[in-house]
Copies of this chain bind each other. A is one copy, B any other.
C-alpha cells in the first residue's frame, strides 16, 4: 500500500470497516463507514449517517496515542499523501513533506489523511449511489461545509481511538480545515499548522470558483447534475474550470519563468487557434488530465464548501473570538506559513489570522516564505518552508513529551 517502508498499524477499532470489495479496487485504500449508529448533523441541518470516509495512515501510533498528525488535503487532493498514487501512479502529493525522515516524519509520527466528505476519491460524495433510490446522488447529495468535512474527520480520529491529535496540518483548503479543527475541537488538537490559507474565502476567490462552476454547469453534458444517471460526462466544462483555477495556483513570475512566450514545437506563430504557445498547451493538458480523475459535481460541492468558509462569521463576526472558546484563549499552538508570490491566499490573509491569535495572546508563530512559485509552493520543493515545519514540530514534540523514537531502517 505504501511506497515507503513504514509499518502500517492495524486500525484499533474494526467495526464499521468496509470489506475490500470491487468498489475498493476501483478506489484503493482504507475506508470506513462512520456515523452508522448515530447520524451526523451537517451545518445545513441535514443529518447523514453511515457515510464512507477513505483514508490512509503512515507510521505507527504510539502506546499513549499521542503522536497522531492529521493531514488535510486541498480542493482536488486525496488521502494518498505519502505513497505512490494507486490510480495515477504519481508520487503522493506531499511526499516532499511527509515520509520517513521528512519534516512530518513517519518514523516518529502516525500520519492520517482522509478524503474529504463530498469528495470523489473514496469518501461519500455526489457521485455515489443514494441507497434510498439506488441512483447516483448528483445534486441531491447534501451540500457540505469545511465544518462538516472536519466533523467527519473527528469521527474518523475517534474511530482510530485517538482522543487528541498531536498536530493538524494542511495547505489551502487543507489549511481551512486546520483552522476549523483548532476552533471546533481546541481540546483535541495540540498543534495546528495552517498553510497558505485564509479564515474566510475572499470575494475574488469566490469569483474564480463561480467561473469554474458556471463552466461546468454550462456544459450540456452536465445535465443539471444528473450526468451519471444519463451516461454523459461534462468533461469540457470541468476542463475549463480546472484551467481557470490552475492559473490562480501559479504566480505570474512562475508562468513567465516556465513558459514565457515560448512557442510550441513550431518555430513560428500559426495565425490560428491551435495551441501556439507552450502555456496554452500546458493549460489544455492540465484540463484534460484533471477530468480523468475528478468528478464534476464534487468540484461544485468542494468549491462551495470553501466559499462558505468564514470562521469569524461563525464566531459572531470576530475572528479573535473564534480563538477564545468560552472566553478562554485557545490552548492550540499555531504555526502559520504563507508564500510571498501567492495571490490566491496572499500573506495578508495569514496575517489577519495571526493578528486575531495575537489579540487573544495565543501561542503562534508565522513565517512568509519568499518564493516566486505562487500558491502551489506549499506542494513544492521549498527548503525554508520545510525547515519551518520541521522545527515547529520538533519544538511541539518536546512540549508534548514525545520521545525521539527512530525505527531501524
Report A's interface with B, CB cutoff 8 A.
43-44, 139, 142-143, 200-204, 206-208, 210-211, 213-215, 217-220, 236-237, 239-240, 243-244, 247, 250, 252, 255-256, 258-261, 269, 271-273, 275-277, 279-280, 283-284, 287, 300, 304, 307-308, 310, 313, 343, 346
Contacts and interface: CB of A to CB of B under 8 A. Distances in A.
22 contacts: A139-B273, A142-B271, A143-B271, A143-B272, A203-B252, A203-B258, A203-B279, A204-B247, A204-B252, A207-B243, A207-B280, A208-B244, A210-B243, A210-B277, A210-B283, A210-B284, A211-B240, A214-B287, A218-B239, A261-B313, A273-B300, A343-B343
A213 B307 contact: no
A310 B252 CA distance: 17
A307 B277 CA distance: 9
Contacts of A240: 211, 214-215, 218, 240
A91 to B, nearest CB: 25
Contacts of A215: 215, 218, 240
A5 to B, nearest CB: 41
A210 B280 contact: yes
Nearest to A304: B273
B343 A308 contact: no
A279 B239 contact: no
Contacts of A220: 220
A252 B308 CA distance: 18
A211 B307 contact: no
Contact of A273 (B201, B211, B213, B284): B213
Contacts of A310: 261
A120 B192 CA distance: 55
B261 A239 contact: no
B207 A279 contact: yes
Nearest to A272: B143
Nearest to A260: B203
Copies of the chain in the assembly: 2
Contacts of A275: 210
Closest 4 interchain pairs by CB?
A218-B236, A143-B271, A203-B255, A44-B271
Contacts of A260: 203
A204 B255 contact: yes
B343 A261 contact: no
Nearest to A238: B218
Contacts of A206: 261, 277, 279-280
A200 to B, nearest CB: 6
Contacts of A304: 273
A334 B3 CA distance: 61
Contacts of A217: 273
Given A142-B271, A217-B273, A218-B236, A203 B261 contact: yes
A208 B247 contact: yes
A256 B44 CA distance: 26
Contacts of A218: 215, 219, 236-237, 239-240
Nearest to A245: B211
Nearest to A43: B271
Contacts of A276: 307
Contacts of A213: 273
Contacts of A343: 252, 343
A220 B300 CA distance: 21
